[in-house]
Amino acid sequence: MPTSHFAATPQPPYYAVIFTSCRTEADAGYGETAARMEELARAVPGYLGIESARGADGFGITVSYWSSESAIAEWKRHLEHQAAQARGKREWYAHFEIRVAKVERAHSGPPPVHDQNVSGT
């Protein structure tokens, strides 16, 4: 199981940027840019991790995690990120929604050794 898909976030509180999007069929440069943005984001102080999924129908959700609002603001100001966002709006996304949220509590399951007594949601 690719558990590396999960972000190893610390105890709350921290911040989440929830980006939901519907892709166009334009694909040129998209994969390379997405990989580059993840690489750049990792270098921003306060970056905590990212989780991403996209279905075959083109609808996707990416959640990035940050230690503070100021870390998010720094990432937003990054010039190469701004250029990628502009291109995303022109070419890659038919529509998107961005929500900035403060994570207040978190839990997980099941543990690596399968245990039916995991505490609940």
d(CA 27, CA 18): 22
Report, in Å, the least distance between residue 22 CB and its own copies: 5
Amino acid at residue number 98: I
Report, in Å, the least distance between residue 32 CB and its own copies: 18
Return the range that interacts with its own copies (CB under 8 A); candidates 30-38, 40-48, 54-62: 54-62
Contact between 93 and 27 under an 8 Å Cβ cutoff? The reply is: no
Return the range that interacts with its own copies (CB under 8 A); candidates 30-38, 39-47, 83-91: 83-91
Q: CA-CA distances (angstroms) from residue 57 to 21, 24, 53, 60, 69?
A: 11, 10, 12, 9, 32
Query: Is the alpha carbon torsion for 108, 7, 61, 58 positive or negative?
Result: negative
- Among 6, 35, 42, 80, interactor with its own copies by CB under 8 A: 6
Report, in Å, the least distance between residue 76 CB and its own copies: 6
Edge-to-edge strand order for the sheet containing 14-23? 14-23, 59-66, 47-54
Question: What is the pattern of x (binds its own copies, CB under 8 A) and - over residues 85-104?
Answer: xx--xx--xxxxxxxxxxxx
Q: Which residues form the interface with its own copies (CB under 8 A)?
A: 1-3, 5-7, 9, 12, 16, 18, 20, 22, 24, 51-61, 63, 76, 82, 85-86, 89-90, 93-110, 112, 116, 118, 120-121
